[in-house]
């Protein structure tokens, strides 16, 4: 057993270790080549969001003159910022090495990413034509020397910092001119050049602009011109004002707008940039030594690699799976009629998400349906969910939507949807003061016989048909009267949140989630002490609540066997003698983003099984409205047990979480065949259909 002095892993450091697992995917030869590039994009996008939110939060603590030890797991905020910067610099360097290796492999597949120095004569003609037709009019170019005030750089936009050495100048002093070119977001980052035989050529938009710099700066007589990329990341925390004359939607809109001028928290630059250019920029931007200044490679905004063109090379990408139907739940008949007799569960993307939209479409047209109530956290850009809700309102249904305007980075999208829904007659609720609404619930009320019958669904993920193709999530369809009566109380709480309801079935944050799970853990502790079977199986995105970590340590010391599948942050340290020797934890990072939250308790031989929208994070337990649901149907309960076991058996994409934080892949036993859980999960559901 490993021994350690620390009881927790810092959440920011743990998050960086998670992103390192994403980076591992880009270096995994078992991952198709183009998808490896896309994982590099995901890694970069994750890092941008980390600096906007988590790094910015720690920086605010430092700026306020506080240590932050009480909220940072005992680490001083200043020390943590330094540690983060060091880790990120190492990860950035590693990502560049991986990219260079991928680029070489692409060349062996006749895919060539060329720069401005590798352009042939025939390609030059195409590039010049492309530049004048599509790029020139989109360029925002600013000459910096004569400006009294440095221009406001956009958050995470990419810029070329241009150095122009004028004729008759020394090349070092006042005869240098400096400029910024903003890389246009409205143009594809990857420009596919004409194919030559079997060879595919791509030039990145940055290099296409570099190739045409003489056209950009024709008004100057220069000896030489060079361009290196820079990028800043700004604090993305919403500062909501207290102006009572403004509506909540106006306050959120104003706060989102303010993000554009919030404090920068990271400055990334091409490490090959000339020293005098870098010094000029840092002085003009007033970048201090305490800020996170990170040398990088030639290209930034690598998140764009998520959209790397396929070039028709489907052999270099993951094979797309065809989402399966749920056994017994037909898309042809009435879903409501089928759900009236039995609970059903879909597990996207293995199952088709179309059941969710069909449920709402059917409710929108059914003359007996009177009310539809739903929570919305993130919607697709072209949402079928929103369309179905508007369809219902136009058919005279009373539609109530609780829409969370503070969904991180989806605020603007949700504001636009809120205005759209409201204009179409949908009744909107804008949250609960001091709480985010993160629950994933929907309920309809239908006239049947002499009363009202309720139907609904509860999910671990967003009602978003786009992310449902790549996020794994459970959604339970039910007509269980007790569950739906509790769900009605949750919607009542949105309207009258001064009243705290009691629930017989659902587990609801912020009032009951933590206490309910603590009671369930306590029962396992008591059973273990009495020599009964005692175990806990947890699958979720993140575990950061020290209260819940301490409770799991207590259970481990009592002899409760605990298995955890934690995709992201895990502040608990497994396998420590006298503290957590009965706890094992893994993280599965693969083709799909592991997103469900499920909880299984031995319960003396009659397992209790739950799904939930809540991770065990302080924000989810104490500062959000979350809903967890018990699984009563025995078939679905067994399905949750089976799917946990399939994930747990992974020996190809599972990393062991430990005090070392080295993201070591789980090792196969001698003679043990490879077991990739996401592939096996699909096979599991195929076999269920066949049986």
pLDDT tens across 495-519, in order? 988 888 999 999 999 999 999 999 9
Averaged pLDDT for residues 20-36: 97
546, 627: one domain = yes
Q: What is the pLDDT of residue 262?
A: 61
The Cα 386–Cα 422 span in angstroms is 11
The Cα 598–Cα 370 span in angstroms is 32
Q: Is residue 277 part of a domain?
A: yes
Question: If pLDDT is split at 50, 70 and 90, which confidence band does 441 have?
Answer: very high
Please check the confidence at residue 290 and state whether its pLDDT lies above 60: no
Answer whether 613's CB lies under 8 Å from 628's CB: yes
Averaged pLDDT for residues 175-195: 91
540, 417: one domain = no
Helix ranges (DSSP H) in 544-676 = 546-557, 618-622, 634-648
Q: What is the pLDDT of residue 615?
A: 97
Please give the residue that has the higher pLDDT: either 175 or 599: 599
Domain boundary pick from 500, 520, 535: 500
Q: Locate tokens 């739940």: which residue? A: 329
Domain boundary pick from 459, 476, 500: 500
pLDDT winner (highest mean) among 142-156, 268-282, 556-570: 556-570
Q: What is the pLDDT of residue 17?
A: 97
67, 179: one domain = yes
Answer whether 630's CB lies under 8 Å from 609's CB: yes
Q: Is residue 322 part of a domain?
A: no
CA distances from 165 to 172, 179, 215 (A): 8, 11, 16
Please check the confidence at residue 3 and state whether its pLDDT lies above 50: no
The Cα 632–Cα 389 span in angstroms is 29
Question: If pLDDT is split at 50, 70 and 90, which confidence band does 374 have?
Answer: very high
Catalytic (active-site) positions: 438
254, 374: one domain = no
The Cα 455–Cα 457 span in angstroms is 7
**CA 322 from centroid of its chain's CA atoms:** 23
Q: What is the pLDDT of residue 77?
A: 87
Q: What is the pLDDT of residue 370?
A: 97
Answer whether 237's CB lies under 8 Å from 53's CB: yes
383 in helix, strand or coil?
coil
Q: What percent of the chain has pLDDT over 70?
A: 93
Q: Is residue 540 part of a domain?
A: yes
**Cβ within 8 Å of residue 56, ≥6 positions away:** 234, 235, 236, 237, 263, 265
Domain boundary pick from 500, 526, 558: 500
Question: If pLDDT is split at 50, 70 and 90, which confidence band does 246 have?
Answer: low
344, 459: one domain = yes
Please check the confidence at residue 156 and state whether its pLDDT lies above 90: no
For residue 463, the domain's CATH number is 3.30.870.10
Q: Is residue 513 part of a domain?
A: yes
Task: Transcribe 68-101 into DSSP letters.
Answer: -TTTTTT--HHHHHHHHHHHHHHHHHHHHHHHHH
409, 494: one domain = yes
Encoded tokens for 260 = 């554009």
**Cβ within 8 Å of residue 308, ≥6 positions away:** 34, 37, 38, 41, 190
Averaged pLDDT for residues 473-484: 98
Averaged pLDDT for residues 198-225: 92
Q: What is the pLDDT of residue 174?
A: 52
What range does the domain containing 236 cover? 11-316
Averaged pLDDT for residues 382-401: 95
Q: Which of 137, 112, 106 is nearest to 207 (CA)?
A: 112
Task: Transcribe 175-214 into DSSP letters.
Answer: TEEEEEEEPPTTS-SEEEEEEETTEEEEEEHHHHHHHTHH
Q: What is the pLDDT of residue 289?
A: 56
- pLDDT per position as a tens digit, 261-287: 567 778 888 999 999 998 888 888 877
The β-bridge partners of 594 are: 472
Q: What is the pLDDT of residue 405?
A: 81
Cis peptide bond upstream of 486, omega within 30: no
Q: Is residue 167 part of a domain?
A: yes
Question: If pLDDT is split at 50, 70 and 90, which confidence band does 1 have?
Answer: very low
Q: Is residue 325 part of a domain?
A: no
The Cα 632–Cα 278 span in angstroms is 62
Q: Is residue 327 part of a domain?
A: no
What is the tally of structural domains in the chain?
3
Averaged pLDDT for residues 21-28: 97
Compute the mean pLDDT over every residue in the chain, rounded to the nearest whole number.
90
Please check the confidence at residue 665 and state whether its pLDDT lies above 80: yes
The Cα 34–Cα 471 span in angstroms is 19
pTM of the predicted model as reported, rounded to 2 decimal places: 0.89
481, 516: one domain = no
Question: If pLDDT is split at 50, 70 and 90, which confidence band does 243 have?
Answer: very low
133, 150: one domain = yes
For residue 35, the domain's CATH number is 3.30.1840.10
Q: What is the pLDDT of residue 244?
A: 43
310, 411: one domain = no
Q: Locate tokens 């406001």: which residue? A: 152
478, 583: one domain = no
Answer whether 35's CB lies under 8 Å from 54's CB: no
- pLDDT per position as a tens digit, 220-230: 888 889 999 99
Please check the confidence at residue 259 and state whether its pLDDT lies above 70: no
Question: Pairing between strand 507-508 and 627-630?
Answer: antiparallel
Averaged pLDDT for residues 366-390: 94
The Cα 515–Cα 551 span in angstroms is 11
Averaged pLDDT for residues 287-315: 81
**Cβ within 8 Å of residue 42, ≥6 positions away:** 22, 303, 306
Q: Is residue 436 part of a domain?
A: yes
Question: If pLDDT is split at 50, 70 and 90, which confidence band does 247 have?
Answer: low
309, 369: one domain = no
Averaged pLDDT for residues 529-540: 97
CA distances from 543 to 120, 275, 616 (A): 53, 43, 5
Answer whether 404's CB lies under 8 Å from 437's CB: yes
610, 650: one domain = yes
- pLDDT per position as a tens digit, 611-662: 999 999 999 999 999 999 999 999 999 999 999 999 999 999 999 999 999 9
The Cα 450–Cα 368 span in angstroms is 12
CA distances from 407 to 118, 238, 569, 619 (A): 44, 11, 19, 13
Answer whether 507's CB lies under 8 Å from 513's CB: yes
CA distances from 342 to 337, 339, 345 (A): 9, 5, 10
């Amino acid at each position: 057993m490993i021994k350690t002095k620390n009881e927790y892993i810092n959440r920011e450091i743990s998050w960086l270790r998670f992103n390192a697992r994403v980076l591992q995917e880009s270096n995994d030869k078992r991952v198709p080549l183009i998808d490896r590039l896309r994982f590099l994009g995901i890694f970069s996008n994750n890092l941008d969001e980390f600096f906007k939110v988590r790094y910015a939060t720690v920086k605010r603590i430092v700026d306020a003159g506080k240590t932050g030890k009480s909220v940072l797991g005992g680490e001083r905020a200043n020390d943590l910022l330094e540690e983060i910067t060091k880790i990120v610099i190492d990860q950035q360097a590693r990502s560049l090495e991986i990219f260079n290796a991928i680029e070489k492999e692409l060349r062996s597949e006749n895919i060539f990413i060329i720069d401005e120095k590798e352009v042939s004569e025939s390609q030059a003609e195409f590039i010049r034509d492309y530049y004048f037709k599509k790029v020139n009019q989109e360029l925002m170019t600013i000459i910096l020397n004569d400006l009294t005030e440095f221009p406001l750089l956009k958050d995470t936009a990419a810029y070329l910092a241009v150095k122009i050495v004028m004729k008759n100048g020394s090349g070092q002093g006042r005869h240098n001119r400096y400029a910024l070119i903003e890389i246009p977001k409205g143009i594809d980052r990857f420009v596919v050049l004409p194919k030559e035989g079997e060879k595919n050529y791509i030039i990145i938009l940055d290099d296409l602009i570099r190739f045409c710099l003489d056209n950009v700066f024709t008004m100057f007589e220069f000896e030489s011109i060079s361009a290196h990329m820079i990028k800043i990341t700004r604090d993305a925390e919403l500062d909501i004002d207290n102006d009572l004359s403004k509506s909540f939607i106006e306050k959120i809109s104003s706060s989102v707008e303010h993000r554009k001028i919030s404090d920068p928290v990271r400055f990334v630059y091409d490490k090959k940039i000339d020293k005098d250019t870098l010094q000029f920029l840092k002085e003009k931007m007033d970048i201090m030594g305490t800020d996170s200044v990170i040398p990088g490679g030639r290209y930034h905004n690598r998140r764009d690699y998520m959209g790397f063109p396929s070039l028709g090379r489907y052999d270099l990408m993951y094979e797309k799976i065809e989402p399966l139907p749920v056994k017994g739940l037909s898309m042809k008949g009435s879903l409501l009629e089928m759900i009236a007799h039995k609970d059903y569960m879909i597990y996207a993307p293995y199952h088709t998400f179309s059941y969710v939209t069909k449920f709402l479409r059917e409710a929108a047209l059914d003359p007996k349906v009177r009310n539809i109530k739903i929570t919305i956290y993130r919607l697709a850009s072209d949402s079928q969910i929103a369309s179905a809700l508007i369809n219902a309102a136009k058919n005279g249904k009373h539609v109530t939507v609780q829409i969370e305007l503070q969904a991180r980075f989806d605020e603007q999208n949700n504001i636009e949807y809120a205005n759209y829904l409201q204009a179409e007659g949908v009744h909107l609720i804008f949250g609960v003061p001091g709480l985010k609404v993160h629950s994933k619930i929907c309920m309809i009320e239908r006239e049947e016989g002499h009363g009202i019958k309720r139907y609904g669904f509860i999910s671990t993920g967003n009602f978003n048909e786009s992310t449902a193709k790549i996020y794994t999530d459970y959604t339970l369809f039910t007509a269980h009267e007790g569950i739906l009566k509790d769900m009605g109380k949750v919607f009542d709480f949105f309207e009258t949140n001064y009243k705290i309801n009691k629930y017989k079935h659902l587990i609801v944050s912020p009032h009951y989630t933590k206490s309910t799970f603590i009671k369930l853990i306590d029962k396992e502790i008591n059973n273990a002490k009495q020599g009964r079977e005692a175990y806990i199986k947890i699958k979720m995105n993140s575990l950061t609540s020290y209260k819940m970590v301490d409770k799991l340590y207590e259970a481990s010391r009592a002899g409760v066997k605990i298995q955890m599948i934690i995709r992201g942050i895990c502040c608990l340290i497994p396998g420590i003698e006298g503290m957590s020797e009965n706890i094992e934890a893994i993280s599965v990072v693969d083709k799909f983003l592991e997103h469900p939250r499920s909880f299984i308790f031995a319960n003396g031989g009659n397992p209790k099984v739950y799904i939930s929208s809540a991770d065990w994070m302080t924000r989810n337990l104490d500062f959000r409205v979350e809903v967890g649901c018990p699984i009563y149907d025995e078939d679905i309960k067994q399905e949750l047990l089976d799917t946990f076991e399939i994930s747990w058996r992974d020996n190809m994409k599972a990393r062991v979480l430990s005090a070392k934080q080295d993201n070591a892949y789980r090792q196969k036993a001698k003679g043990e065949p490879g077991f990739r859980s996401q592939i096996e999960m699909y096979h599991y559901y195929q076999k269920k259909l066949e049986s």
